[in-house]
Structure 1
Amino acid sequence: MRFRTKKRNSKNIITLILVSLVLSVVLSIYTINGRLMPIYKEYAEVQTNKVASYVVSKAINSRTSSVLDVNEIIVNLPTQSKDMITTKFNTEIINQVRAETQTLVKEYLEQAESGDLSHLPNLENVEYDVGKMEAGDGIVFFVPLGQALNIPIIGNLGPKIPIRFHIIGNVHSDVQSSIREFGINNAIVEVNLLIEVNVKIIIPFASHSASVEQKIPIAIGLVQGTVPHIYSAGEGTQPSIEVPIPYD
């Protein structure tokens, strides 16, 4: 009877030790993962931004039309005075470039997600999982744990952390213009296209959404106006330059 009791107590102790050991391991993993999660997220977002920006840039560089001269998209409107010029942007050309660029970016991103490595950058210590990409899991790549934690001594060692991201929704674009004064009655005009790609980044035990933005020049150039007869360097000051007016 005593032998059975001792044997039962031994089993209970072993069971308790095993349960405690398992709980300690689980708790340790949970604690370490919680502390490292912000580092994983930040690293994954940086790498995702690099990959997505590269794909977007490659798509933009492949388009048939390059950066236009701003005078090609400006239309002069008739005015009552020959000394006055009224202009507007040619929205037809701008929208054409916008649609072309947006379509190319979407196509390149879709091809990259399907495993086309020719559209992806060759990043150091980054290994793409072509099999999962071809299976429709988005853009999947692995990075060594030491690289993600920024520990140079074990940069290429340790288990590889999978990072996956895929495009959420459509590619968004917006046209922005800026005008800067240049010289006398001249202006430098820039028309840019802002491309925004929304992605979902997935890492072990977590996921979050992010956006990749890139500004693309559509047209840039100098717009020259008529030289005024009198030019003043500022309000309330005497004219600093006087241009003779011819009399008939």
Structure 2
Amino acid sequence: MARWGRRVRWKLPVAPAKRMRMAKPRASGGWRPGASKPPAQWRPSARTASRRMSAVRVQGRTPPSVPRPRKIRKRWWLLFLALLVLAGTVNAYVFVERKLQPPLMRVAQIKVKQIMTEAINKAITEQVASGTDLQNLIDWKTGDNGKIAAFMMNYNEHMKITAQTVQTVQSTLKDSDKFKEGIPIGQAFGSALLSSFGPRIPVRFEPLGDAQVELGTRKSDAGINMVLVEVYIRIKTELAVIIPFDSSSQSLETEIPVSYLMVVGDVPSYYYDGKGNPVGDAKASAPALALPPVPTTPETAGGGSGQH
């Protein structure tokens, strides 16, 4: 108990200044009485906070929890999305390579062969029709009586057509940028309902080597005294068919008829049909043909007797 008349001093506990968080006014003048917003609380920077946390660890106390910035959380979300997209891309690549690659390549090869055959045939036909004299393509040999005895190819016209055909084929293959085709991915599933659905897979091709051109003739019977001679151009070339994730080679071979020639010979007085009977105006004077009998085998003879 304090004595009467003695002054009593009351001491209040005050926290040290180092641990107090003081309000720092704004740079625009701070908060004034009567304002609608309270004064902004001063927050230490990241560097100051790290220094204080290190000082607290040295003193042996537990540092206060500091909330992480939102930027770090956003980075984690972006990293997760990137990994998810990468995994989806890898799975799609494996699926396309194992399941869709073979049927897509077969469809692409058929498509490229069809397109390039039509393009080459059109170019060669226009070139031959405009710049080749078909009358001089074959040299006819006649006998003493003025009738056709034989024929042979004109070498000059032959080489001219071959050289022009090679140039036309090479120029057509080099203009591969003009042929932009795509295959619906639904055709790879082999379903008639899904053949026209899905994104279109781009298809490209590149020529491999030079084209081989051959000019030849083909003869066929057109009657008793007529022979049909066909002059044609045979073209062989190699193409590289390119689709996403795969490429393959495709051989292209086509024949283009250039001209047809009919050779008419003498009409025979008589001839024999498939049964050995004479046909013609002088069939009465034609000798009879003795056809050999059909040989019989033990199997046929035994089979006939077994039926009775």
CA distance in 2, matches of 1:183, 1:62: 32
TM-score by length of 1: 0.64
1:54 matched to 2:118 = yes
Residue 245 of structure 2 aligns with which residue?
A: 205
Residue 73 of structure 1 aligns with which residue?
A: 137
SS in 1 for 2:127: coil
1:226 matched to 2:226 = no
CA distance in 2, matches of 1:201, 1:159: 19
Query: Contact between 1:70 and 1:220, CA under 8 Å: does it hold in 2?
Result: no
1:105 aligned partner, one-letter code: V
Query: Contact between 2:165 and 2:213, CA under 8 Å: does it hold in 1?
Result: no
Larger radius of gyration: 2
1:239 deviates by 5.3
SS in 2 for 1:165: strand
1:34 aligned partner, one-letter code: R
CA distance in 2, matches of 1:235, 1:70: 37
Quickly say closer, same or farther: Cα 1:84–1:163, change in 2 above 3 A: closer
Alignment of 1:160-175 (within 5 A): 160-175=200-215
The CA deviation string for residues 16-39 of structure 1, in whole angstroms up to 9 with x for no partner, is xxx9x9779746742452121211
Residue number among 144, 160, 173 corresponding to 1:96 in the alignment: 160
Residue 6 of structure 1 aligns with which residue?
A: none
CA distance in 1, matches of 2:130, 2:190: 39
Report the aligned-residue RMSD: 3.8
- More deviation in 230-239 or 210-219? 230-239
CA distance in 1, matches of 2:170, 2:127: 13
CA distance in 2, matches of 1:226, 1:68: 31
Residue 301 of structure 2 aligns with which residue?
A: none
TM-score by length of 2: 0.53
Alignment of 1:92-241 (within 5 A): 92-110=156-174, 112-113=175-176, 115=177, 117=178, 120=179, 128=180, 141-149=181-189, 158-228=198-268, 230-233=269-272, 240-241=279-280
SS in 1 for 2:170: helix
Identity over aligned pairs, percent = 25
1:166 deviates by 0.4
1:84 deviates by 7.2
Residue 33 of structure 1 aligns with which residue?
A: 97
CA distance in 2, matches of 1:177, 1:64: 16
CA distance in 2, matches of 1:155, 1:236: 54
2:280 aligned partner, one-letter code: I
CA distance in 2, matches of 1:71, 1:186: 19
Q: Which runs of 5+ in 1 are unaligned?
A: 1-18, 121-127, 129-140, 244-248
SS in 2 for 1:170: strand
Highest RCO, 1 vs 2 (Cα 8 Å, sep ≥ 6) = 1
1:160 deviates by 3.6
Q: Which runs of 5+ in 2 are unaligned?
A: 1-82, 283-308
Query: Contact between 2:226 and 2:265, CA under 8 Å: does it hold in 1?
Result: yes
2:104 aligned partner, one-letter code: Y
The CA deviation string for residues 42-90 of structure 1, in whole angstroms up to 9 with x for no partner, is 1111221132123213312331536989775332335567677232232
Residue 125 of structure 1 aligns with which residue?
A: none
- More deviation in 186-195 or 45-54? 45-54
